A = this chain, B = another copy of it.
Amino acid sequence: MDVKILCLGVLSRGEASGYEIKKAFEEGPFSHFHQASFGSIYPALNALSAEGLVACRAQAQEKRPDKKIYSLTAKGRDVFTTALLAEPDHDRMRSDFLFILSFAQFLPPARVAALIDQRIAWYRESLERMEDCEAARCSPPGATFVRGMGIAVYRAAAEYLETNRDALIADVAEPEALVAE
């Protein structure tokens, strides 16, 4: 599942420029489980155009480069729905946060606390944005389902961190207590 298919997916929700597609991966509904940068989106869009999977309409703008608005062609929609039927690759997660926390015993307790507090704050902010998202009101069922799952998972993560924060800090602060036990 490469950037080209990702772009087709975004365009299936309505026409968009490269810049707007980037935003969908940066702040939009896909930001939590996929990402793409300008350096991959613009070439992908040109390739899709050459293959006839998207159509491009240039919108002239004053004092700015022309905005290129892309939309799916019938062929593009076909290719996209076919790609959706493929077996999904395994999820890939890379979390330096969890890796670092795995070695909490090598960190000053204050650092462990800061790391966890930052993360709780991040989850809470994300949850707020996800919960009162206007765009989500009239989203298709799949998008609503996925959004709900994100909320459930982030909430569980935040709650776990809040509940177990102090115990971990106590453990790394006095490791003798664990050995003595």
- Seen from chain A, the residues whose Cβ lies within 8 Å of a Cβ on chain B are 1, 6, 9, 12, 29-30, 32-35, 80-81, 84-85, 88-89, 91-107, 111-112, 115, 140-143, 145-146, 148-150, 152-153, 155-157, 159-161, 164, 168, 171-172, 175, 178
Contacts and interface: CB of A to CB of B under 8 A. Distances in A.
A88 B96 contact: yes
Nearest to A143: B102
Oligomer: number of copies: 2
Main secondary structure of the interface of A (DSSP, over half): helix
B32 A93 contact: yes
B115 A88 contact: yes
A95 B172 CA distance: 33
Given A92-B93, A93-B94, A98-B149, 8 more contacts: A1-B99, A9-B103, A12-B106, A89-B96, A91-B93, A91-B98, A93-B93, A104-B141
